[in-house]
Structure 1
Amino acid sequence: MILPVVAGILLNGRGDYLLAQRPPGKAMAGFWEFPGGKVEAGETLRQALDRELSEELGIRVDCASPWMTRQFDYPHARVAVSFFRVLAWAGEPRPCEFQTLGWFDPAGILPEGLALLPANIPLISALSLPPVYGVTRAWEFGEERMLTVIGEVCARGLRLLQVREKSWSLERISDFVQRIRQRTQPWPLRILVNGDPELAQRTGADGVHLPARFLGILKDRPALPWVGASCHSRGELEQAQGLGVDFAVLGPVCPTQTHPAAQPLGWSGFTALRQESALPVYAIGGLNGLALSRAIRQGAQGIAVMRGLEDWGEEKIPQHLCGQGAA
């Protein structure tokens, strides 16, 4: 029997997240976790979240978005934890059940000796993922104009970028990655190269973005700090999860110029697939600045954007969701 559980990830204005230490007398006492608890009979997940955070922290949840669901086997139960990102609440979180509370920086290292519940561990790195994943198109823009755009959007909050120049040689991609690093020195930008893991390693990137065709070929997660994957179906999401990638990009949500023949998922199709995934998932395909809020409400990590990246401004990237190194 799987026990349904909800957990709330409270994010403050700096992007810090709240953890609570389980008090003596509870199962797994002493471990730290995102606040939450069991879903009672007749409750929706959101109703359970609101009740649990009111009971545990004394707050009223005003805005919460579903994020991902993860299953885990504990000694006392098998649980399916539905995690919500809680973006707005009324009241000051306080320990209503004698637990210890603490705020933590996603970009930092947890204090030595702090033991997280196992189901919560994968979410810590996911919390450092920003809401916008930029994708290059220097093949169309030209390198100089693309570098200018990258510098401008990094100054406005972009922290994750995919170099997607599929027709280029290894040498040209490597040179482009280094030029991006020079242009974005003031900001902690993570650069992933679209292609195979060896290509990404040889260019000096921070990670690789796997095209969907690699998901059925690779047997293990590439040995790189960050691994993303392009997915278009339930099967590809399952393959990506099985490889242990850090996040997936799912689409196209809307019609695109890049893949005009692809059948769009629509927001309903995106949400249905996203709900079945235990990965952070970016929406992609024909999305503009107005789509970010909707994507987050639909449970996405955020959106991936190629066309229109140059139009992004600070008002489109919520600072409390910007992740590691947010300005």
Structure 2
Amino acid sequence: MTKLVQVAVAILMKPDGEYLLASRPNGKGWAGWWEFPGGKIESGETPEHALIRESQEELGVTPMQIQPWIKRRYDYPATHDAEAKTVLLHFFFVHAWQGELTAREGQQFAWQHPRKLNVSPVLPANAPIMQALSLPPIYAISNVQEMGETAFLRALKKQLDQGLQLLQVRESQLDSAALATLSEQILELCAPYDCRSLLNGTPEQALQLGYQGVHLNSQRLLALTQKPDHLLVGASCHDAEQLQQAQALQLDFALLSPVLPTQSHPEATGLGWEKFGEMLNGLEIPVYALGGMQPEHLAQALSCGARGIATQRMAWFSA
């Protein structure tokens, strides 16, 4: 029987979004491969305590600002220098630390930009985490139906100037010709900014119209049997079953809603932050909070383990 090893993993983050990778030192399994720093959680030790101890032992720093994030299970095969094992990785963001980074095990360090990885090879269990780190904290949803096309495109340009990096185009009221015309304008606006755009629709539609990704509603999510290729894939979830389906398909991210009452559905009772955090506990894919989100809710969402917040109105009416 393959043994389970629980590991605390540190994602040291600079204010500009760069994160630290370290090479596996000689003498350890998978030597020379790159990974996030961390180590085994000892018996009777909490993941947080293991994170602090391992950071001190490996990196010479003491984490001061820790934020739990996602967990990830991975089955490592046996190699010539390491036995087969299953790891359960507990990932933590470390936004502040004391001390100077020191390679106490002879490893190399490399600060990496989330969208521009320049070291290899990377440990297989870590690769999906880097994809998750490339997701920004704000996921904007289009609102042409309410604003009108001209006002929306003007607001989109302003948000792109301010750093918007991820957009969902959700305009089910449009026929195929009108959607194609709008999509062409949106994609042309987004291209110089490297903002990734996802179509709320089918994978076939998204590819045909030139989108980088597709966003699935909950009905399409539950009907899906395999993650579409060549697309960034997100999905809307409203309960634990849908979140588990998104995870089983290894989608790139999910939305969970409604967290708070919304303008469009004021009668709907939101999950609330406590329930939202409980539903994220143990998930292996990044999740955005949706429903009544305002800028001041971002910190709360992150503290619950979310990747960020999604919004249909706040992004545009604050533009």
**Partner letter of residue 92 of structure 2?**
F
Aligned-pair CA distance for 1:135: 0.5
Deviating above 4 A after TM superposition, structure 1's stretches of 4 or more consecutive aligned residues are none
Q: Which residue of 2 aligns with 1:177?
A: 183
Structure 2 CA distance for aligned equivalents of residues 197 and 78 of structure 1: 33
Partner SS, residue 27 of structure 1:
coil
Deviations 1:104-141 (A, max 9, x none): 22222434xx2222111111221111000000111011
Which letter maps to 1:81?
L
* Partner of residue 101 from structure 1, selected from 95, 101, 109: 109
Query: Are residue 56 (structure 1) and residue 64 (structure 2) matched?
Result: no
- Give the 3-state SS of the residue equivalent to 1:118 in structure 2: coil
Structure 2 CA distance for aligned equivalents of residues 245 and 170 of structure 1: 26
Helix, strand or coil at the partner of 1:291 = helix
Q: Which amino acid aligns with 2:309?
A: I
2:277 corresponds to which of 271, 278, 288: 271
| Contact 1:174–1:202 under 8 Å retained in 2 | no
Tell me the alpha carbon deviations over residues 193-231 of structure 1, each in whole angstroms, 9 at most, x when there is no partner.
111112212222111000011122121112232111111
Choose which of 218, 228, 233 in structure 1 pairs with 2:234. Answer: 228
**Alignment partners' CA distance in 2, 1:206 and 1:158:** 15
Alignment gaps of 5+ in structure 1 = 314-327
TM score, norm. by length of structure 2: 0.92
Displacement of 1:292 after TM fit?
0.6
8 Å contact 1:163–1:191 — kept in the other structure? Answer: yes
Correspondence for 1:18 = 20
User: Partners in 2 of 1:279 and 1:117 — Cα distance?
Assistant: 18
Code of the residue aligned with 1:247 in structure 2: it is F
How far apart in 2 are the matches of 1:137 and 1:174?
Answer: 16
Q: Which residue of 2 aligns with 1:319?
A: none
* Higher relative contact order, structure no. (Cα contacts within 8 Å, ≥ 6 residues apart): 1
Deviations 1:64-92 (CA, angstroms, capped at 9, x unpaired): 21221000122332110011122222233
Amino acid at match of 1:62: M
Deviates further, 39-48 or 179-188: 179-188
Q: Tell me how many residue pairs correspond in the alignment.
A: 311
CA gap of 1:103–1:53, structure 2 versus 1, over 3 A, is same
Q: Distance in 2 between matches of 1:196 and 1:184?
A: 21
C-alpha distance in 2 between matches for 1:17 and 1:257: 37
Once residues 276 and 259 of structure 1 are traced to their aligned partners in structure 2, the CA distance between those partners, rounded to angstroms, is 29
Mapping for residues 286-297 of structure 1, pairs under 5 Å: 286-297=292-303
Q: Structure 1 residues 76-85 or 246-255, which shifts more?
A: 76-85
CA distance in 2, matches of 1:8, 1:298: 17
Name the CA shift for 1:282/1:263 in 2 (closer, same or farther; >3 Å): same
TM-score calculated relative to the size of structure 1? 0.90
Q: What is the root-mean-square deviation in Å for CA atoms of aligned residues?
A: 1.7
Aligned equivalent of 1:324:
none
Gap regions ≥5 residues in structure 2: none
The residue matched to 2:72 in structure 1 has which SS? strand
1:3-42 → structure 2 map (5 Å cutoff): 3-42=5-44
Bigger mean CA offset, 264-273 vs 42-51:
42-51
> 1:312 offset after TM fit, Å?
5.0
